Amino acid sequence: MIMFKKLKDIERRYEELEKKLSDPDVVGNRGEYQKAAKEHADLRDIVNTFRQYENVLKQIEEDQKLLQENDEEIKEILKEEIPELKARRDELEGRLKILLLPKDPNDERNVFLEIRAGTGGDEAALFAADLFRMYARYAERSGWKVDVMSSSSSGGMGGFKEIIALVEGKGAFRSLKYESGVHRVQRVPVTESQGRIHTSAVTVAVLPEAEDVEVNIDPGDIRVDVYRSSGHGGQSVNTTDSAVRITHLPTGMIVTCQDEKSQHKNKAKALKVLKARLLDQMISERDSKISETRKNQVGSGDRSERIRTYNFPQGRVTDHRIGLTLYNLESILDGDIQFIIDSLTTHFQAEALKRSAA
Protein backbone atom coordinates (compact mmCIF):
# COMPACT_ATOMS: atom_id res chain seq x y z
CA MET A 1 0.00 0.00 0.00
CA ILE A 2 1.59 3.28 -1.16
CA MET A 3 0.06 5.34 1.64
CA PHE A 4 1.34 2.90 4.29
CA LYS A 5 4.88 3.08 2.90
CA LYS A 6 4.77 6.86 2.85
CA LEU A 7 3.57 6.94 6.45
CA LYS A 8 6.36 4.58 7.51
CA ASP A 9 8.90 6.90 5.86
CA ILE A 10 7.41 9.87 7.73
CA GLU A 11 7.57 7.95 11.03
CA ARG A 12 11.23 7.12 10.42
CA ARG A 13 11.98 10.78 9.72
CA TYR A 14 10.14 11.76 12.91
CA GLU A 15 12.27 9.35 14.96
CA GLU A 16 15.46 10.70 13.32
CA LEU A 17 14.43 14.21 14.33
CA GLU A 18 13.78 13.08 17.91
CA LYS A 19 17.37 11.82 18.12
CA LYS A 20 18.64 15.00 16.49
CA LEU A 21 16.86 17.20 19.03
CA SER A 22 18.66 15.43 21.88
CA ASP A 23 22.09 15.75 20.18
CA PRO A 24 24.21 18.30 22.12
CA ASP A 25 25.78 19.59 18.87
CA VAL A 26 22.33 20.35 17.42
CA VAL A 27 21.08 21.85 20.70
CA GLY A 28 24.08 24.20 20.65
CA ASN A 29 23.30 25.37 17.11
CA ARG A 30 20.22 27.57 17.48
CA GLY A 31 19.39 27.76 13.78
CA GLU A 32 19.67 24.02 13.17
CA TYR A 33 17.78 23.20 16.38
CA GLN A 34 14.87 25.51 15.50
CA LYS A 35 14.63 24.06 11.99
CA ALA A 36 14.60 20.48 13.34
CA ALA A 37 12.11 21.38 16.09
CA LYS A 38 9.73 22.93 13.56
CA GLU A 39 9.86 19.89 11.25
CA HIS A 40 9.36 17.60 14.26
CA ALA A 41 6.30 19.60 15.38
CA ASP A 42 4.90 19.60 11.83
CA LEU A 43 5.09 15.78 11.68
CA ARG A 44 3.77 15.10 15.21
CA ASP A 45 0.06 15.02 14.34
CA ILE A 46 0.42 12.68 11.37
CA VAL A 47 2.79 10.31 13.26
CA ASN A 48 0.51 10.14 16.32
CA THR A 49 -2.50 9.47 14.06
CA PHE A 50 -0.58 6.79 12.15
CA ARG A 51 0.42 5.05 15.40
CA GLN A 52 -3.21 5.02 16.54
CA TYR A 53 -4.14 3.59 13.13
CA GLU A 54 -1.54 0.81 13.45
CA ASN A 55 -2.76 -0.06 16.96
CA VAL A 56 -6.34 -0.36 15.71
CA LEU A 57 -5.25 -2.60 12.80
CA LYS A 58 -3.35 -4.79 15.26
CA GLN A 59 -6.37 -5.01 17.56
CA ILE A 60 -8.67 -5.99 14.66
CA GLU A 61 -6.23 -8.73 13.63
CA GLU A 62 -6.03 -10.11 17.18
CA ASP A 63 -9.82 -10.04 17.58
CA GLN A 64 -10.36 -11.90 14.32
CA LYS A 65 -7.96 -14.64 15.52
CA LEU A 66 -9.88 -14.92 18.79
CA LEU A 67 -13.09 -15.41 16.79
CA GLN A 68 -11.72 -18.78 15.65
CA GLU A 69 -11.77 -20.07 19.23
CA ASN A 70 -14.72 -21.88 20.78
CA ASP A 71 -15.49 -19.50 23.65
CA GLU A 72 -19.02 -18.27 22.81
CA GLU A 73 -18.97 -15.50 25.42
CA ILE A 74 -15.80 -13.99 23.92
CA LYS A 75 -17.25 -14.32 20.42
CA GLU A 76 -20.31 -12.27 21.42
CA ILE A 77 -18.09 -9.52 22.83
CA LEU A 78 -15.90 -9.51 19.73
CA LYS A 79 -18.91 -9.28 17.41
CA GLU A 80 -19.66 -5.91 19.00
CA GLU A 81 -16.05 -4.77 19.30
CA ILE A 82 -14.83 -5.51 15.76
CA PRO A 83 -17.34 -3.24 13.94
CA GLU A 84 -16.44 -0.40 16.33
CA LEU A 85 -12.74 -0.95 15.64
CA LYS A 86 -13.35 -1.02 11.87
CA ALA A 87 -15.27 2.26 12.09
CA ARG A 88 -12.37 3.77 14.03
CA ARG A 89 -9.93 2.38 11.43
CA ASP A 90 -11.88 4.05 8.60
CA GLU A 91 -12.04 7.33 10.52
CA LEU A 92 -8.27 7.34 11.13
CA GLU A 93 -7.59 6.34 7.51
CA GLY A 94 -9.64 9.30 6.29
CA ARG A 95 -7.78 11.63 8.63
CA LEU A 96 -4.42 10.31 7.41
CA LYS A 97 -5.40 10.94 3.78
CA ILE A 98 -6.16 14.56 4.66
CA LEU A 99 -2.92 14.93 6.65
CA LEU A 100 -0.97 13.62 3.65
CA LEU A 101 -2.39 16.28 1.33
CA PRO A 102 0.20 18.89 0.28
CA LYS A 103 0.14 21.67 2.84
CA ASP A 104 -0.45 25.28 1.90
CA PRO A 105 2.85 26.95 2.90
CA ASN A 106 0.92 30.09 3.88
CA ASP A 107 -1.48 28.39 6.32
CA GLU A 108 0.24 29.46 9.53
CA ARG A 109 0.79 33.07 8.46
CA ASN A 110 -0.76 36.32 9.55
CA VAL A 111 -3.19 37.79 7.03
CA PHE A 112 -4.20 41.10 5.57
CA LEU A 113 -7.96 41.37 5.57
CA GLU A 114 -9.24 43.84 2.97
CA ILE A 115 -12.93 44.72 3.04
CA ARG A 116 -14.48 47.09 0.47
CA ALA A 117 -18.00 48.34 -0.09
CA GLY A 118 -19.29 47.29 -3.50
CA THR A 119 -22.74 47.83 -5.00
CA GLY A 120 -25.19 49.55 -2.65
CA GLY A 121 -23.75 52.91 -1.56
CA ASP A 122 -24.09 53.75 2.14
CA GLU A 123 -25.79 50.43 2.88
CA ALA A 124 -22.80 48.51 1.43
CA ALA A 125 -20.44 50.68 3.50
CA LEU A 126 -22.43 49.93 6.66
CA PHE A 127 -22.27 46.21 5.91
CA ALA A 128 -18.51 46.47 5.32
CA ALA A 129 -18.31 47.74 8.92
CA ASP A 130 -20.51 44.83 10.08
CA LEU A 131 -18.22 42.31 8.36
CA PHE A 132 -15.12 43.92 9.83
CA ARG A 133 -16.65 43.66 13.30
CA MET A 134 -17.54 39.99 12.61
CA TYR A 135 -13.96 39.12 11.70
CA ALA A 136 -12.54 41.22 14.56
CA ARG A 137 -14.77 39.36 17.05
CA TYR A 138 -13.74 36.01 15.53
CA ALA A 139 -10.08 37.03 15.83
CA GLU A 140 -10.67 37.96 19.47
CA ARG A 141 -12.22 34.54 20.14
CA SER A 142 -9.19 32.92 18.46
CA GLY A 143 -6.72 34.89 20.58
CA TRP A 144 -5.41 36.86 17.58
CA LYS A 145 -4.46 40.52 17.35
CA VAL A 146 -6.11 42.89 14.84
CA ASP A 147 -4.27 46.03 13.71
CA VAL A 148 -6.08 48.41 11.35
CA MET A 149 -3.65 49.43 8.63
CA SER A 150 -5.87 51.74 6.62
CA SER A 151 -9.52 52.79 6.55
CA SER A 152 -11.74 55.06 4.51
CA SER A 153 -15.03 56.09 6.12
CA SER A 154 -18.32 56.62 4.33
CA GLY A 155 -20.09 59.81 5.44
CA GLY A 156 -21.38 60.09 8.99
CA MET A 157 -23.25 56.75 9.19
CA GLY A 158 -20.32 54.76 10.54
CA GLY A 159 -19.61 52.61 7.49
CA PHE A 160 -16.42 51.93 5.55
CA LYS A 161 -15.71 52.44 1.88
CA GLU A 162 -12.61 50.35 2.58
CA ILE A 163 -10.82 48.95 5.62
CA ILE A 164 -7.57 46.98 5.64
CA ALA A 165 -6.39 45.19 8.79
CA LEU A 166 -3.50 42.91 9.72
CA VAL A 167 -4.71 39.85 11.63
CA GLU A 168 -1.83 38.34 13.60
CA GLY A 169 -2.14 34.81 14.94
CA LYS A 170 -1.08 31.23 14.30
CA GLY A 171 -3.19 29.68 11.55
CA ALA A 172 -4.94 32.93 10.64
CA PHE A 173 -4.61 32.33 6.89
CA ARG A 174 -5.65 28.67 7.23
CA SER A 175 -8.88 29.73 8.93
CA LEU A 176 -9.75 32.82 6.90
CA LYS A 177 -8.55 32.00 3.37
CA TYR A 178 -11.98 30.80 2.21
CA GLU A 179 -13.59 34.13 3.20
CA SER A 180 -12.33 35.81 0.02
CA GLY A 181 -15.06 36.82 -2.39
CA VAL A 182 -18.28 38.81 -2.56
CA HIS A 183 -20.56 38.87 0.49
CA ARG A 184 -24.14 39.91 -0.26
CA VAL A 185 -26.52 41.48 2.26
CA GLN A 186 -30.30 41.70 2.02
CA ARG A 187 -32.00 44.00 4.53
CA VAL A 188 -34.09 47.14 4.97
CA PRO A 189 -31.68 50.10 5.21
CA VAL A 190 -32.15 52.58 8.07
CA THR A 191 -32.73 55.27 5.42
CA GLU A 192 -35.54 53.31 3.71
CA SER A 193 -38.92 54.83 4.61
CA GLN A 194 -41.02 52.33 2.62
CA GLY A 195 -39.63 49.24 4.35
CA ARG A 196 -38.27 47.78 1.12
CA ILE A 197 -35.48 45.20 1.23
CA HIS A 198 -32.29 46.31 -0.52
CA THR A 199 -29.48 44.09 -1.78
CA SER A 200 -25.89 45.31 -1.41
CA ALA A 201 -22.47 43.74 -1.83
CA VAL A 202 -19.10 43.88 -0.08
CA THR A 203 -15.84 42.35 -1.33
CA VAL A 204 -13.42 40.58 1.01
CA ALA A 205 -9.83 39.67 0.17
CA VAL A 206 -7.62 37.60 2.48
CA LEU A 207 -3.90 37.83 1.68
CA PRO A 208 -1.03 36.10 3.52
CA GLU A 209 1.48 38.48 5.06
CA ALA A 210 4.71 38.55 3.04
CA GLU A 211 8.10 37.96 4.58
CA ASP A 212 10.87 40.38 3.64
CA VAL A 213 12.92 37.65 1.98
CA GLU A 214 10.03 36.83 -0.38
CA VAL A 215 9.19 40.29 -1.65
CA ASN A 216 12.00 42.75 -2.11
CA ILE A 217 10.76 46.16 -3.29
CA ASP A 218 13.28 48.27 -5.17
CA PRO A 219 13.04 51.86 -3.82
CA GLY A 220 13.24 53.04 -7.43
CA ASP A 221 10.03 51.12 -8.21
CA ILE A 222 7.84 53.12 -5.85
CA ARG A 223 6.60 56.69 -5.69
CA VAL A 224 5.73 57.99 -2.22
CA ASP A 225 3.31 60.91 -1.92
CA VAL A 226 2.45 62.54 1.40
CA TYR A 227 -0.64 64.59 2.14
CA ARG A 228 -2.78 65.79 5.03
CA SER A 229 -5.01 63.15 6.64
CA SER A 230 -8.74 63.70 6.40
CA GLY A 231 -11.60 62.35 8.49
CA HIS A 232 -15.39 62.32 8.18
CA GLY A 233 -16.62 64.94 5.73
CA GLY A 234 -13.10 65.76 4.59
CA GLN A 235 -12.01 67.67 7.68
CA SER A 236 -8.33 67.55 8.57
CA VAL A 237 -7.40 64.96 11.21
CA ASN A 238 -4.14 66.74 12.01
CA THR A 239 -2.11 69.69 10.75
CA THR A 240 0.86 67.75 9.34
CA ASP A 241 1.31 65.89 6.07
CA SER A 242 1.27 62.45 7.69
CA ALA A 243 -0.89 60.47 5.26
CA VAL A 244 1.05 58.34 2.76
CA ARG A 245 0.20 57.08 -0.72
CA ILE A 246 2.60 54.53 -2.25
CA THR A 247 2.42 53.74 -5.96
CA HIS A 248 4.22 50.63 -7.19
CA LEU A 249 5.27 51.78 -10.65
CA PRO A 250 5.82 48.38 -12.37
CA THR A 251 2.31 47.09 -11.45
CA GLY A 252 0.37 50.32 -10.88
CA MET A 253 -0.72 49.11 -7.41
CA ILE A 254 -1.62 51.97 -5.05
CA VAL A 255 -1.74 51.73 -1.26
CA THR A 256 -2.74 54.58 1.05
CA CYS A 257 -2.48 54.82 4.82
CA GLN A 258 -3.48 57.70 7.05
CA ASP A 259 -4.57 56.09 10.34
CA GLU A 260 -1.35 56.91 12.21
CA LYS A 261 -0.23 60.43 13.16
CA SER A 262 3.34 59.56 12.16
CA GLN A 263 4.25 59.67 8.45
CA HIS A 264 6.90 56.98 9.05
CA LYS A 265 4.38 54.61 10.66
CA ASN A 266 1.92 55.15 7.82
CA LYS A 267 4.63 54.45 5.26
CA ALA A 268 5.69 51.25 7.08
CA LYS A 269 2.09 50.01 7.18
CA ALA A 270 1.50 50.87 3.52
CA LEU A 271 4.65 48.98 2.51
CA LYS A 272 3.44 45.90 4.44
CA VAL A 273 0.14 45.95 2.58
CA LEU A 274 1.92 46.44 -0.76
CA LYS A 275 4.22 43.47 -0.06
CA ALA A 276 1.21 41.26 0.73
CA ARG A 277 -0.47 42.26 -2.55
CA LEU A 278 2.72 41.62 -4.52
CA LEU A 279 3.10 38.21 -2.84
CA ASP A 280 -0.50 37.38 -3.75
CA GLN A 281 0.26 38.32 -7.36
CA MET A 282 3.43 36.14 -7.33
CA ILE A 283 1.44 33.15 -6.01
CA SER A 284 -1.22 33.67 -8.66
CA GLU A 285 1.31 33.84 -11.48
CA ARG A 286 3.28 30.86 -10.15
CA ASP A 287 0.29 28.59 -10.02
CA SER A 288 -2.66 30.10 -11.85
CA LYS A 289 -4.59 26.79 -11.80
CA ILE A 290 -4.77 26.79 -8.00
CA SER A 291 -4.65 30.47 -7.05
CA GLU A 292 -6.92 32.89 -8.86
CA THR A 293 -5.70 36.36 -9.54
CA ARG A 294 -6.59 39.09 -7.10
CA LYS A 295 -9.26 40.44 -9.49
CA ASN A 296 -10.96 37.07 -9.77
CA GLN A 297 -10.64 36.45 -6.05
CA VAL A 298 -12.85 39.35 -5.05
CA GLY A 299 -14.80 39.90 -8.26
CA SER A 300 -16.13 43.28 -9.27
CA GLY A 301 -18.40 43.89 -6.28
CA ASP A 302 -21.52 43.20 -8.31
CA ARG A 303 -24.50 41.69 -6.44
CA SER A 304 -24.55 38.56 -8.60
CA GLU A 305 -20.95 37.45 -7.87
CA ARG A 306 -21.45 36.19 -4.35
CA ILE A 307 -20.02 33.47 -2.14
CA ARG A 308 -22.35 34.17 0.80
CA THR A 309 -25.66 35.90 1.46
CA TYR A 310 -26.74 37.47 4.76
CA ASN A 311 -30.54 37.81 4.75
CA PHE A 312 -31.71 39.94 7.70
CA PRO A 313 -35.51 39.54 7.32
CA GLN A 314 -35.11 35.74 7.53
CA GLY A 315 -32.17 35.77 9.97
CA ARG A 316 -30.44 33.54 7.43
CA VAL A 317 -26.84 33.09 6.26
CA THR A 318 -26.19 30.95 3.15
CA ASP A 319 -22.79 29.97 1.81
CA HIS A 320 -23.47 29.28 -1.87
CA ARG A 321 -20.26 27.30 -2.52
CA ILE A 322 -21.27 24.43 -0.26
CA GLY A 323 -25.04 24.93 0.00
CA LEU A 324 -24.84 25.60 3.75
CA THR A 325 -27.74 27.57 5.27
CA LEU A 326 -27.85 28.66 8.92
CA TYR A 327 -30.50 30.63 10.80
CA ASN A 328 -28.32 32.29 13.43
CA LEU A 329 -27.36 35.47 11.59
CA GLU A 330 -27.03 37.54 14.78
CA SER A 331 -24.46 35.24 16.42
CA ILE A 332 -22.57 34.85 13.10
CA LEU A 333 -22.21 38.63 12.78
CA ASP A 334 -20.97 38.58 16.39
CA GLY A 335 -18.03 36.43 15.24
CA ASP A 336 -19.46 32.94 15.71
CA ILE A 337 -18.24 31.69 12.32
CA GLN A 338 -16.19 28.63 13.33
CA PHE A 339 -18.83 26.18 12.04
CA ILE A 340 -18.84 27.89 8.63
CA ILE A 341 -15.02 27.87 8.50
CA ASP A 342 -14.87 24.17 9.49
CA SER A 343 -17.52 23.26 6.90
CA LEU A 344 -15.61 25.09 4.14
CA THR A 345 -12.32 23.47 5.17
CA THR A 346 -13.90 19.99 5.09
CA HIS A 347 -15.43 20.70 1.66
CA PHE A 348 -12.19 21.91 0.07
CA GLN A 349 -10.20 19.08 1.66
CA ALA A 350 -12.66 16.60 0.12
CA GLU A 351 -12.21 18.32 -3.26
CA ALA A 352 -8.44 18.05 -2.89
CA LEU A 353 -8.75 14.33 -2.04
CA LYS A 354 -10.81 13.77 -5.19
CA ARG A 355 -8.13 15.45 -7.28
CA SER A 356 -5.32 13.47 -5.64
CA ALA A 357 -7.18 10.20 -6.29
CA ALA A 358 -7.86 11.04 -9.95
pLDDT digits (tens, 9 = 90+) for 56-95: 999 999 998 888 887 788 888 888 899 999 999 999 998 8
Q: How far is residue 337 from each of residues 130, 136, 208, 344, measured CA to CA in Å?
A: 14, 11, 20, 11
Instruction: Please report the pLDDT score of residue 127 as a whole number.
Output: 95
CA angle, corner 255, sides to 240 and 207, nearest 5? 135
Rg (CA), the chain: 26
**pLDDT of 97:** 86
pLDDT reading at 165 higher than 90: yes
State the average pLDDT over residues 1-22.
Answer: 89
**For position 210, what pLDDT does the model report?**
83
Mean pLDDT of 320-338: 96
- pLDDT level of residue 231 (50, 70, 90 thresholds): low
* Residue 336: how many other CB atoms lie within 10 Å: 16
Q: Read off the pLDDT band of 292 (50, 70, 90).
A: very low
* Angle of the 72-99 helix axis to the 30-66 helix axis, nearest 10: 150
pLDDT at 291 over 60: no
For 63, counting Cβ atoms within 10 Å of its Cβ (0-12 exposed, 13-18 middle, 19+ buried), the class is middle
Domain 111-350 in CATH 2.40.50.140? The answer is no
Report how far residue 228's alpha carbon sits from residue 235's, in angstroms, rounded to the nearest whole number: 10
For range 120-149, the mean pLDDT: 94
Does an H or E element contain 164, and which?
Answer: strand 159-168
How wide is the angle at C-alpha 44 spanned by C-alphas 39 and 50, nearest 5°? 130
**43 neighbors 10 (Cβ within 8 angstroms):** yes
